[in-house]
Structure 1
Amino acid sequence: MIAQGQENAVRANLSFIEKAFYAGALTAQRYDNKVIMTALSITASTLSVLQSVAALPPDVLEMLGGAKSTGRNRWYELKRLLDRPALLKLARELVQDADLLKLAPDQRFEAVLKALKQSRRKPSTPAATKSAWQPDSKAFAAEITVAQRRFTLALKAKQGSEAADFGRYLSDRLEGLYRDFRQEETSERKHNR
C-alpha cells in the first residue's frame, strides 16, 4: 500500500484535494496515520489538514471538482468557513447555480470561496445623511448630520453672533425639548395601538 501510494502520488501529480480524498479513503480503511504519511510522503501537519479537508461535505466537493491549482491553504480556508452552518447552507445553494457549474473547477472554487467570505462580513453601516437649514434672514446656517447613533447640529454665521446666540438658546432649552419629545413619542405609541 505504501509503495502504491508513493507511486500514485508521484506519477499522477495529485492535486491537494485529490490527496485529501486519498488520505480520507485510507483513514476510512483504518490505516494508521504513520502509514498514510509514508504513503503520501507528507508530514503529520499536512495529513491533519488533508483529513480535515476530506471531511468536507461530499455534495459540495463533488460540485467544486478537482480544482487542481487550488492549494492547501485555500482548501483549509474553505473548510473552516464551511464549519459554520449558515455558510455551509449558502455553499450548497451556490454549487447548484447553473452559471457556476459552467466555470472550470478552480474558478468555481474561487467564486464559492469569495461569496462565502463576503457573506460573513458585517454589513457596512449606512453613511451619515447631511442636510442644511437657514433662517429667512440668512444670518447663519445650520448643518445637520444624522448617523446611526449620532446627531450633530452645527450653527455657523458669516458674521455676528447670531449663530452662537441661537445655539445657547437651544442649549438652555434642551431639557424641555427632550421632555416634549418623549411625551409626543409616548402619545404616538398609544395612538398607534
Structure 2
Amino acid sequence: MSRRRDELKALLGGAPPAEAETPAEAEAASAARPRAHASSGAVKAMGLALGNLRAEAEDARALREQVARGERVVEIDPNRIEPAFVADRLSQPDRSDEAFDALCRSIEEGGQEVPVLLRPHPDAERSQAGWYQTAYGHRRVAAARALGIKVRAVVRPLSDVELVVAQGKENSERRDLSFIERALFAEALLQRGFERATVQSALSLHKAEMTRLLQVAEAVPDAIARAIGPAPRAGRTRWMLLAEQLRTAGARDKAEREIATERFAKATSDERFVLMLERLTRRAKTVSRTAEALSEPSGRVVASFKPDGKRSVIEFKGEGAFAAFVASEIPALYAAFKAREGED
C-alpha cells in the first residue's frame, strides 16, 4: 500500500517514490507515522483510474502506429475522403458504370470484403482535421457513401509516386481498368510530370504497350472518350481503329454529332463505342446504274454515260475527234454549271 501511495504522489506531482524498503523497515516506518485518513478503497479506485488512462493512451499510440504501418483495417466516414489527384476511371456511378448498382447491392448484403487504400490528406490542415485521399477503391468509397455507411480502409502515409504506383498496380492485378482508361490514366500521369518508368511500373506495362496506349490517348479527344465511357469489351484493337478514324477534323465532327443523338445517350458504354465506330467507318452507299447511251438523232450511239457515285464515266465510241472536242469544252461547261448553280 505504501508503494502504491508513493506512485500516486509521483503521478500527481508529488515527491518521487522512495527507495524500496525492507519488510522490517516498512513495518517500523508504518508504526511511527500517523494513520492516513484516506480510505484504502478511494486509493484503489484512483489507482484503477490512472491505470485505465495509461491503457487508453497505450491503445491510442498502438492504433496510430498500426495505421501508419498499414497493419490495421479501420472504418472511416466516406464523406471525409477525397479522390486521388489523377482519376483512373471514366465510369461515373450516376451514368456509365453499369456495375455500380451491383457493387452497392453486394456491399449492402454481404459487407465490404476488400478494404480500400487511403493516405492521410496531403494538405496538413485537412489531414489534421481527419481528411483522407484515396489511392485505390474509389467505387467502394462511392458505394459506402451512397449506402450511408463507413468504408473499411487501410491508411498509409504515401508519397505521390507511391500513391500512383499502388493505384495502378491494384487495378492491373485485378484487370479492372479498360484499355481506354489505362491509356488516359497513363497520359494524365505523364502530363503531371511523372517519369515514364514510373508510369510503366504503375500500370505494369512493357514499352511497346505503353506506346500504343499513348498513341490512342493522343488521337482520341478526351471529350469523346469520356462520352463513350470505359467500354470494357472494346479492347485494344478496336480502340486503335477508332483512334485512326478520329485523326481528321471531319471525323471528329461526325463523332460529336453522334454523341448528340438520343440513341447514343440511351446506350450502354459498350454500345456507345459500337455506335461511334460504325458512324466513323460507314461509307456512302453508291447505287450502281446501267450505262446510259448517248445517241445521234439517227440513233447511232456516240458515247455512253455511267454514273457511279463520285466517279462517273463517259465512254466515247468511234474516232477520238469528238472525245477531244468534248474535253476542250469541259472548262466552259463547268463554268456555266457553276453560274447556274449560283443563280439557284
Give yes or no for TM over 0.5: yes
Aligned pairs for 1:16-55 (under 5 A) are 16-55=179-218
1:10 to 173, 180, 183: 173
Asked if 1:93 corresponds to 2:257, the answer is: yes
Deviation of 1:129 (Å): 2.9
Q: Distance in 2 between matches of 1:150 and 1:18?
A: 52
Counterpart secondary structure, 1:151: strand
CA displacement, residues 106-135 of structure 1 (integer Å, 9 cap, x when unaligned): 12111211211125x7x74853434699xx
Asked if 1:129 corresponds to 2:297, the answer is: no
Q: Distance in 2 between matches of 1:126 and 1:23?
A: 48
| Contact 2:172-2:203 at 8 Å conserved across structures | yes
| Contact 1:128-1:145 at 8 Å conserved across structures | no
TM-score w.r.t. structure 2 length? 0.39
Amino acid at match of 2:198: V
Amino acid at match of 2:253: K
| Contact 2:294-2:305 at 8 Å conserved across structures | no
CA displacement, residues 28-60 of structure 1 (integer Å, 9 cap, x when unaligned): 221111111121111112112212222322221
| Contact 1:78-1:113 at 8 Å conserved across structures | yes
Q: Distance in 1 between matches of 2:262 and 2:255?
A: 14
CA displacement, residues 146-172 of structure 1 (integer Å, 9 cap, x when unaligned): 22323366xxxxxxxxxxxxx9xxx7x
CA displacement, residues 15-35 of structure 1 (integer Å, 9 cap, x when unaligned): 111111221221122111111
2:305 alignment counterpart: 146
Q: Distance in 1 between matches of 2:290 and 2:198?
A: 61
Deviation of 1:4 (Å): 3.4
Gaps of at least 5 residues in structure 2 are 1-161, 307-311
Gaps of at least 5 residues in structure 1 are 134-140, 154-166
1:102 to 249, 257, 266: 266
Q: Distance in 1 between matches of 2:280 and 2:239?
A: 13
Q: Distance in 2 between matches of 1:12 and 1:41?
A: 11
CA displacement, residues 134-192 of structure 1 (integer Å, 9 cap, x when unaligned): xxxxxxx97x7422323366xxxxxxxxxxxxx9xxx7xx76xx69xx7xx99xx7xx9
TM-score w.r.t. structure 1 length? 0.66
Runs of 4+ in 1 over 6 A off after TM superposition: none
Deviation of 1:71 (Å): 0.9
Structure of greater Rg: 2
Deviation of 1:88 (Å): 0.7
**Higher relative contact order, chain-length normalized (CA < 8 Å, sep 6+):** 1
Q: Distance in 2 between matches of 1:100 and 1:117?
A: 16
2:248 alignment counterpart: 84
Deviation of 1:87 (Å): 0.5
Instruction: State the number of aligned residues.
Output: 161
Aligned pairs for 1:141-180 (under 5 A) are 145-147=304-306, 148-151=312-315
In terms of fraction of residues, the more helix-rich structure is 1
1:70 alignment counterpart: 234
